Amino acid sequence: MVRAIETARSGLKPRIAEIVAAIITAGTLIVVVVTLHVGARLERTAIDDEIRVAKTLTAELQKDQSQIVEQAAIEPALLGFKVAALEALDFDEDKRATVPNTGVHAFLISPQGRLLAATISGEPVAPELPSEIAAGALALAAAVTARKNDGGVSRFGSAFAGFSTVSGRLAVVAATPLVQPELADSAPGVVVALRTLGESALRDLADSYGLESLAFAGSVSAPSGQTILPIAGLTGATAGALVWRNANPGRC
């Protein structure tokens, strides 16, 4: 009888060890799964936060560009337009320094869609719309005239703004009605201002908004380890995407 009990006990010991080992293994797996799940949620939250930041960035770019055209609608000379009708106006040349026109391509467009004048960085140039932005600029001017925003066009006060591309670079574009109707065939025309965002500008934005390695891509596919925010163009079609390195919650 004693031997039978001892034999039973000796047989239980390996089983108990196996059960304990199984419990420890299962517990470890649960901890690993929970840790991975929590880590994934934290990373997803961080990425979502960065996407919201990127959306804020694009809205601020459009808002800033809108403020430029709103000022130029009152004083077109701020963007370098030399119009005879302005000679009688009391224009303060010192005001020109208050509008950042370096690198800005500006256009005066009539209500009928006819290009009246153009400037680059405040200097008059031949009135010609680059073919790659012509459709978008005219769509934006039409939105201003109709006072209705469609597709990739957003409204900021009296101005309308959106994005386009110039030579593969992202460009922010804004337009608003001219305050002086005599500048455009005796009817309120439109002033359009475009500014491209090169690598230097994107680096500055990356630093300001905390988006690591911010860049613009012509496609909307996300490379490995990166996050994208698709950008709609002025005509409503996708112009490309802002791309930056994925958020890492464990990064200092």
Return the exposure string of 34-57: e unless at least 16 CB atoms fall within 10 Å of the residue's CB, then b.
Answer: eeeeeeeeeeeebbeebbeebeeb
Q: What's the pLDDT tens digit per position in 106-150?
A: 999 888 888 888 999 888 888 888 888 888 888 888 888 888 777
Sheet with 169-177, side-by-side order of all strands: 123-125, 115-120, 104-109, 190-197, 169-177, 159-166, 154-156
User: What is the pLDDT at residue 147?
Assistant: 80
CATH of the structural domain 1-252, one choice from 3.30.70.20, 3.90.320.10, 3.30.450.20, 3.30.70.980:
3.30.450.20
Q: What's the pLDDT tens digit per position in 211-242?
A: 999 999 988 887 778 899 999 998 888 999 99
Nearest 5°: CA angle at 245, between 102 and 52?
A: 75
**Distance (Å, whole) CA 165 – CA 159:** 20
User: What is the pLDDT at residue 43?
Assistant: 56
Average pLDDT over residues 20-39: 55
Domain chopping of the chain, boundaries: 1-252
| Nearest partner of 156 among 54, 65, 229, judged by Cα | 65
User: What is the pLDDT at residue 60?
Assistant: 94
> Which class for 246: exposed (0-12), middle (13-18), buried (19 or more C-beta within 10 A)?
middle
| Nearest partner of 80 among 93, 67, 90, 70, judged by Cα | 93
Q: Residue 198: which residues within 8 A CB-CB, separation 6 or more? A: 169
Cβ atoms of 163 and 239 within 8 Å: the answer is yes
How much of the chain exceeds pLDDT 70, in percent? 69
Please give the torsion angle defined by the CA atoms of residues 116, 108, 126 and 233, in that order, rounded to the nearest 10 degrees.
Answer: -120
Please give the torsion angle defined by the CA atoms of residues 85, 89, 93 and 95, in that order, rounded to the nearest 10 degrees.
Answer: -110
| Nearest partner of 165 among 187, 135, 143, 192, judged by Cα | 135
DSSP assignment letter at 230: E
Q: Is the pTM of this model over 0.95?
A: no
Q: What's the pLDDT tens digit per position in 152-161?
A: 889 998 899 9
